[in-house]
Chains A and B, each alone.
Chain A
Amino acid sequence: MNLRKVLSVDTIALDLKSDTKDGIIEEMIDLLMAAGKIRDLKDKKEALRVVLERERKMSTGMQNGIAIPHGKTDRVDNLVAAVALKKSGVDFGSLDGQPSRIFVMTLSPDTRTGPHIQFLAEISRQLNDPAVRDRILQAERPEDVLDILSS
């Protein structure tokens, strides 16, 4: 799976400001909107709703500081994704209770087919490698993150 098709430097943020789970999610959706992946405020609101709804069912905070908030909505035509870091960590209600530091967000169309869950699975698997996580957390530019993930 080619990550560069979905990810680009303008959907990668190295330093999120927020200290709360909801804040992190909103910041990442703003990032997607700034990159033109979400069209308008109405779509943004809907995107936020579906991602929070999914978090309500079960937190996407996994082990080792990784979280993969995601949602399905027809406000997007194709899978869109963002990667962001909060180096000091945020409580995401993760499986192992550890603060989450690396976030991968995806929004995928509800009624169109595509490797949406597969994308999340693949990227989570890459982040399962401690060396990859360390390199991402030490990245200085968004390009570096893109290089690490697509190598």
Chain B
Amino acid sequence: MLRLVLQLAVIFIAARLGGFVFSRWLKIPSVLGELCSGLLIGPYALGGMNIRGLGTLFPGTGDVLAVSPELYGFATIASILLLFLSGLESDLTLFARYSTVGIAVGVGGVIVSFIGGAWAAVLFRVAPSFSSPAALFLGVVSTATSVGITARILADKRKMDSPEGVTILAAAVLDDVLGIVLLAVVVAISRIQTAGGHVDWGDVGRICAKAVGFWIVFTAIGLLSARRITSVLKRLRSMEIITSIAFGLALLMAGLMEMAGLALIIGAYVTGLALSRTDVAHAIQNQLHGMYNMLVPVFFCVMGMLVNFAELKPVILFGLVYSIIAVAAKLIGCGLPAFLMNFNRLGAKRIGLGMVPRGEVALIVAGIGLSTGSIQHDVFGAAVMMTLLTTLLAPPLLAHSFDHRSGVRHRAEPSMEEIKTISLDFPSTDIASFMFSRLAQTFRNEEFFVYRLGPDVQTYQIRKDDMVFTLTQEGDSVQLSAPAKYEHVARFILLEELLTMQDLAKSFERMHNLDGMKSDLLKGVFDADE
């Protein structure tokens, strides 16, 4: 236990510092910093060195899984948390609205990525055949987009509500689902093969039916019962307790899914997805934020630690090609359907690029492969390399591709409509940020769902039914973007809030006891005689 405590101490500090260096100084997503810290401090690098008098911090286990089961346990809990949150953040309403183009882009990306990944493995003789565990795992690893990084860029560029933005976010919902179902299938097939059994097409069909069946049944039960469950939970009148119970349910479902021969993260994701439609979804996300900040860097760091450099050397070329294929697969698989459905070449490129980053799901899948013996260090290393490269490459390319030009063709569908931005300039940043939070509250009072896109992003997304507004603050200006169809609602709300603000300012001026209040504050504080 002493060693675990010391290991965690180093991991917490190193992961966070790595993330800090990457995001602040190198302007690269912080998860890469956490992953690279892991590479650096892991048993195959600094952590494996024998420090005189202290011994080795990460001694290696002699097993494929180079960290202790206890430490891997932390990473597993973090992966359950990650997938629970990713289910919870899914926007099924948005998905339903843009389902046609979302399905086309999501399915296209998954199919091309899966085939591309598995094909590359066979081509480079990393896997003996298309249906071998290594090829299947490399296929699944390259399917799941990590939309968090893309969402961040869309928010920065104020393109969250753009046709490309909503298409990416809708497609990412399906992408997650498909990636996770594929994982279930691949895990089941690999289990049989690793145990020495032979898998025929009948088995594949049976396994697929089971995975999809479980998925549909549990998601349906979850969605149908979630509101009832949360309304009972709300009687506890404490978001802390509700959050703990909800996370407990996610762990329970994760366990049940694993027992059913699927995978832990599937249960976590399904639970999150079921709760995403309830009104406590956002509050649970907020409550879990602290735990997320603590545990998730541990996950990325531990994944980095599992990379065995010696085994990686022979497959570096493969890793590069695999990464390039992973980028191309999303560009083609997501871009082409988008191009065929109302987007022009630029729009299709933006959507393709937005789907390129792979992250937590890819690493979790690779980790499952490694821990079950379905894949070896070389394949795992290639998977980590691909995650690193796609997450590194996509953000600057995506940010660069968003300029003033439109990404849709002229004959735009009514749903892909124009966005109007109303900008208000205030005399100071303080007043602007006051107005910014007041407006968020006004929208809440009008019964909109208001949520902040991130703790350090001055952007709120505001929704009700099919109305989606974006509220941002930049220095002393506040901007509200609204679809042209609902511009009037945005303008009315801004006007009423401005009038209230004017009243507030006047009543503050009129406070007749203001002078008294000021001098009272200091009276007697600095009057000490000797």
Contact = CB atoms under 8 A, between A and B. Distances in A.
Interface string A52-76: 0010011000000000000000000
B488 interface: yes
Interface stretch (B30-38, B348-356, B441-449): B441-449
Given A57-B503, A58-B499, A117 B492 contact: yes
Interface residues of A, number: 15
B444 A121 contact: no
A120 interface: yes
B496 interface: yes
Contacts of B444: 113
B430 to A, nearest CB: 23
Contacts of B447: 113-115
A128 B487 CA distance: 13
B446 A115 contact: yes
Contacts of A58: 495, 499
Given A57-B499, A57-B502, A57-B503, A117 B488 contact: no
B493 interface: yes
Given A124-B492, A125-B488, A118 B446 contact: yes
A122 B489 contact: yes
A49 interface: no
Contacts of B503: 57
Contacts of A57: 499, 502-503
Contacts of B496: 117
Interface in B493-525: 493, 495-496, 499, 502-503
Given A113-B444, A114-B446, A116-B446, A121 B499 contact: no
A124 B499 contact: no
A75 B488 CA distance: 28
Interface in B429-473: 442, 444-447, 464
Contacts of B488: 121-122, 124-125, 128
Nearest to A57: B499
Contacts of A124: 488, 492
A contact patch SS: helix
A117 B493 contact: yes
Nearest to A58: B499
Interface in A100-128: 113-118, 120-122, 124-125, 128
A46 B118 CA distance: 73
A120 B446 contact: no
Contacts, number: 40
Interface string A2-46: 000000000000000000000000000000000000000000000
A118 B444 CA distance: 12
Contacts of A125: 488
Nearest to A68: B492
B489 A121 contact: yes
B489 A113 contact: no
A67 to B, nearest CB: 14
A54 B447 CA distance: 22
Contacts of A122: 488-489
B499 A117 contact: no
A58 B495 CA distance: 10
Given A124-B488, A124-B492, A125-B488, A117 B502 contact: no
Contacts of B446: 113-118
Most buried by B among A114, A125, A128: A125
A122 B446 CA distance: 13
B405 to A, nearest CB: 30
B281 to A, nearest CB: 18
Most buried by A among B447, B464, B496, B499: B496
A118 B502 contact: no
B107 to A, nearest CB: 36
A53 to B, nearest CB: 9
Nearest to A128: B488
A128 B489 CA distance: 13
Interface string B105-146: 000000000000000000000000000000000000000000
A16 to B, nearest CB: 24
Contacts of A115: 446-447, 464
A121 B464 CA distance: 15
Contacts of B489: 117-118, 121-122
Contact of A121 (B445, B492, B502): B492
Contacts of A128: 488
Nearest to B489: A121
A120 B492 contact: yes
A113 B492 contact: no
A57 B499 CA distance: 7
A124 B486 CA distance: 12
Contacts of B493: 117-118, 121
A116 B500 CA distance: 15
Contacts of B442: 117
A117 B464 CA distance: 14
Given A57-B499, A115-B447, 10 more contacts: A54-B499, A114-B445, A114-B447, A117-B442, A117-B492, A121-B489, A121-B491, A121-B492, A122-B488, A124-B488
6 contacts: A113-B445, A113-B446, A116-B445, A118-B446, A120-B492, A128-B488
Question: Which 10 residue pairs of A and B lie closest in terms of their CB atoms, listed nearest first?
Answer: A121-B492, A121-B489, A121-B488, A125-B488, A113-B445, A57-B499, A117-B492, A117-B493, A113-B447, A115-B446
Interface of A: 54, 57-58, 113-118, 120-122, 124-125, 128
